């Protein structure tokens, strides 16, 4: 079942997303739990936020959190995910359908990202089946402390 997330879902969403993040992360980024909860609450409560979950047997098995904003150089709008995880076949597509409809209602272009570096070919195929086109890549540098250490060497 796909449904809108509620404020009662904040902790289960956080737990699910962090479990999924740990399974797929390539770059370790420190988790600030209160910051994560605030972002989830904002996606649930803000008109600029999107929060849907898939649920089976009373457990969250998928999450899509997103936001909409203006491009920095244009009044045109875009909608982007900040967290998208799905464990069950078909739920990812259903979550994407709901996100696409929400973005259309906001007159916003979909912009989806993939920063884990895992399962890239599978994700690319999924997004292409959803009608999206691959544009560019994400490149990450070392953390600032690592940059200072590299420069000293």
pLDDT of residue 121: 74
What ranges do the domains of the chain cover? 2-152
Average pLDDT of the chain is 85
Q: How confident is the model at residue 20 (pLDDT cuts 50, 70, 90)?
A: confident
Contact 61, 54 (CB under 8 A): yes
- Distances in Å between the Cα of 105 and the Cα atoms of 17, 52, 70, 109 are 26, 16, 15, 10
**pTM score:** 0.82
Determine the CATH number of domain 2-152.
3.40.630.30
């Amino acid at each position: 079942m796909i449904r809108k997330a509620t404020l009662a879902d904040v902790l289960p969403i956080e737990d699910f997303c962090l479990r999924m993040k740990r399974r797929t992360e390539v770059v370790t980024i420190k988790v600030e739990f209160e910051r994560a909860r605030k972002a989830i609450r904002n996606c649930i409560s803000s008109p600029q936020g999107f929060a849907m979950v898939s649920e089976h047997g009373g457990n969250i098995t998928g999450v899509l959190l997103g936001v909409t904003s203006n491009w920095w150089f244009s009044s045109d709008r875009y909608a982007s995910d900040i967290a998208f995880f799905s464990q069950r076949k078909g739920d990812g597509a259903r979550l994407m359908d709901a996100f696409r409809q929400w973005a259309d209602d906001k007159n916003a272009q979909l912009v989806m990202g993939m920063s884990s570096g895992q399962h890239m070919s599978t994700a690319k195929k999924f997004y292409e089946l959803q009608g999206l086109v691959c544009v560019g890549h994400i490149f990450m540098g070392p953390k600032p402390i690592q940059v200072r250490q590299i420069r000293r060497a």
